[in-house]
Structure 1
Amino acid sequence: MNTAAVNTTGAPPAEPWSPAELEARLRAVGEEHYHHRHPFNIRMHSGDLSQAELRRWIVNRFHYQRHIPVKDALITAKLPTSELRRRWLRRIQDHDGPQEGEGGIERWLRLGEAAGLDRETLLRADSVLPGVRLAVDGYVNFCRLRSPLEAVAASLTELSAPDLMRTRIDAFERHYQWIEPEGLAYFRARVSQGRRDSREALDLVLSWARSREEQESAVAALRFKCDVLWSLLDAVDRAGRREQA
């Protein structure tokens, strides 16, 4: 008997899913667990947030935004070929910008300014909630310590991001007209960027995850990332409720 082909229970290893089934399972994670279902996001998109609540979210979400190129640098270091590293480096430039005053981080700072926040408030991060710091640190460390497959799979929340961005743009234009329209540039850019990035990452995951064990680890990584985003909103939501109590 080939002992390498059995697991510790003595049963044969599970058959791998087809690429189509793996993709369906990954998309199902987003549909069921992405933070578009979080009560805070539902309230945001229904126009039910106060100015203070929306500003608190902008400040705390910025702590996540500014760490996106950090986690992408960690993923880039894990990639095995020059071609893949060049491709992933584009994500860092998307957020850090090709030069000062450009990129996604700069656009988020301008969102804060459009909402009446001083950019130094966002950059100092004095008011970032402990729960948000913990969630962001957990995601960065996941990308640092886990396999390339798991780190890339965790980025597949981008599969759900374009639809969320379109919903968010509509909600801000409809319900939060006190925010200057140019502040929505970050959301507009992420519609096309998210579609492109998710397709590239999905192709990598489908090609790398050959065994059932690898496929299940990819699905678990995406579920973990959904939990990170959910936990971030939990912290922001609780802070608002404490303030209102």
Structure 2
Amino acid sequence: MAAPRPTLTRAELAGALHAQASRYWDKHPFHVRLHAGGCTPGEIRSWVANRWYYQRHLSAKNAAIVSACPLPAVRLRWLDRIAFQDDGGLDDWLALAAAVGLTAGEVLDERHVLRGTRFAVDAYVSFCRTRPWLEGAAAALTELFSPKHMTDRVHAWRTHYDWIEPAGMAYFDNRIPVVEQDSSFTLDLVLTHAVTREQQEAAIAALAYKCDVLNAILDAVDYAGTAR
């Protein structure tokens, strides 16, 4: 019988989590084209409308993590994520939608949301509802990679797509400093509570899974754009 593998040190686990950056959606061909100025207005509108479906489900997945977590201090801190979305974040996303030429009605009725987006987002919410809370928290660690990506997005949009109303960037301007704080908290949380090799590997797998979810959304948007 093989001996169990030793647990990773905090530094080793942190390194393994950071290494998932290679799977993050900033490398997806759609995002590469988007940041290079190669997307049409219709493709940008499709991205915003489909990303809305993800945005509006964040509070549900965060509530699932809160409900499963036995630690009061963590629950209280995690509730801030729900507050951000429900107390301005979703409104800021609708402002972005307006800035790219979408009406609130067509975003809210989700007529532009693609099947692939629905499957990916619904699966992510189900994951957070059915897996241990620590895995749900680990999946959120895509926030380790998102501040720079969002900063690059704002710069790219202002450079290449001057037809987008500047006021539409409020979501990103408000979210970047928040996600920087959230990522530090969540990383420490996972490093502290993933104490067995099984938990550590599950945390790494959860983050890899979340990267796959995000890329699946872009797969759907990219395919829909090229199929027209």
Q: For this structure pair, what is the TM-score category when the shorter chain's length is used for normalisation? A: over 0.9
Task: Name the structure 2 match of 1:5.
Answer: none
Q: Report how far residue 189 of structure 1 moved.
A: 1.5
- Find 1:15's aligned residue among 6, 31, 45: 6
TM-score normalized by the length of structure 1: 0.92
1:144 aligned residue: 129
1:215 match: 200
Rounded Cα–Cα distance in structure 1 between residues aligned with 2:179 and 2:25: 15
The match for 1:7 is none
Matches within 5 A, 1:8-157: 10-30=1-21, 32-97=22-87, 103-157=88-142
2:12 & 2:184 partners in 1: Cα distance?
A: 16
Structure 2 SS opposite 1:66: helix
Q: Which runs of 5+ in 1 are unaligned?
A: 1-9, 98-102
**How much is the aligned-residue C-alpha RMSD, in angstroms?**
0.7
SS at match of 1:128: coil
Higher helix residue share: 2
Report the Cα distance in structure 2 between the residues aligned to 1:44 and 1:22, rounded to whole angstroms.
Answer: 32
Measure the CA separation in 2 of the matches of 1:141 and 1:199: 25
Matches within 5 A, 1:159-170: 159-170=144-155
Q: How many residues align?
A: 228
Deviations 1:185-205 (A, max 9, x none): 111112111111111111110
C-alpha deviation, 1:181, in angstroms:
0.4
Please report the TM-score for the alignment, with normalisation by the length of structure 2. Answer: 0.99
Q: How big is each residue's C-alpha offset from its partner over 1:165-211, in whole Å with a ceiling of 9 and x where there is no partner?
A: 11001001101110110100111112111111111111110011111
Q: Which structure carries more relative contact order (alpha carbon 8 Å, separation 6+)?
A: 2
> Which protein shows a greater Rg?
1
Letter in 2 for 1:104: G
Residues 204-245 of structure 1 show CA distances to partners (whole Å, capped at 9, x for unaligned) of 1001111111111100000000000000000000000000xx
